[in-house]
Chain A
């Protein structure tokens, strides 16, 4: 299992890129918010679909896969069981509602 570690930022922070012939599966998520305010963190899946019958000229697409609000001073965790149905098809990124180095986001992941 691999892990990625970023801090809360209003610009989407790269977690991992899913290979073209795999799906990204999250094994764990931990958000340690030691800042002085609650933080809302979203996990985004960013990809350009392949040309299909209905969409021959696809464009870059962002899908929101998960959103969590963590109170100040709290460490929030989700297990593999909680994350079972979350799949990443492209670039996995984390984006928050504030820039805060004391709010750390750690995801465990693997490819299937």
Chain B
């Protein structure tokens, strides 16, 4: 569901090999039981990727310093429209950030619903707070444009991923540029395989814990 890859994965491969694709590459997926009933076609089932098509997209925004935009990646009106429309299809997205004085926070399902926080109750990201605005933020160093490490999964009618894109205090204007490497996967259901990738629902990792 959400993954910020760590060092061993970086050492193993360049970004293309971080994406699943048909056999012999890693191709088996499992949507956990935590997925909502709105996604019954996928939840609790095992799938094999039988076809993959990569699609690249870039977006750039000019934003004043100490200000932000909420980038809705879904197909909603005003969204970036990076979600599939049909069942049996999953999009695996790597998000790379060009260098600049900005950061990205991951939110789902609404612009106030942060994904990443820590255990103590006040330890959640808050752009109005001079300290906690940096909590859980992903910078261009964390997921470089040419070596993207931020991965998001999306299926049809899923709650929207929102990237809260914040230009740092101290610059007049910034231009965050985000590169999306979207791998469109066509799936067929299979029996439980020996090896598979679990795609968790956002509720499994969200919040303070």
Report Cα–Cα, A23/B98, bound state, in Å.
10
Closest to A50 in B: B61
Q: Is the CB of A80 closer than 8 A to any CB of chain B?
A: no
Closest to A90 in B: B62
B177 touches A22 (CB 8 A): yes
Most chain A CB neighbours (cut-off 10 Å) among B70, B175, B177:
B175
Q: Is the CB of B46 closer than 8 A to any CB of chain A?
A: no
Q: A53 to nearest B CB, angstroms? A: 5
- Residues of A within 8 Å of B61, CB to CB, are 50
**Chain B interface size, under 10 / 10 to 19 / 20 to 34 / 35 or more:** 10 to 19
- Residues of A within 8 Å of B68, CB to CB, are 52-54
Closest to B111 in A: A53
- Residues of B within 8 Å of A9, CB to CB, are none
B60 touches A22 (CB 8 A): yes
Report Cα–Cα, A53/B111, bound state, in Å.
11
Q: Is the CB of A75 closer than 8 A to any CB of chain B?
A: no
Q: Is the CB of B22 closer than 8 A to any CB of chain A?
A: no
Closest to A45 in B: B173
List residues of A whose CB falls within 8 A of some B CB: 19-23, 47-55, 61, 63, 87, 89-90, 112
List residues of B whose CB falls within 8 A of some A CB: 58-64, 66-70, 98, 100, 172-173, 175, 177
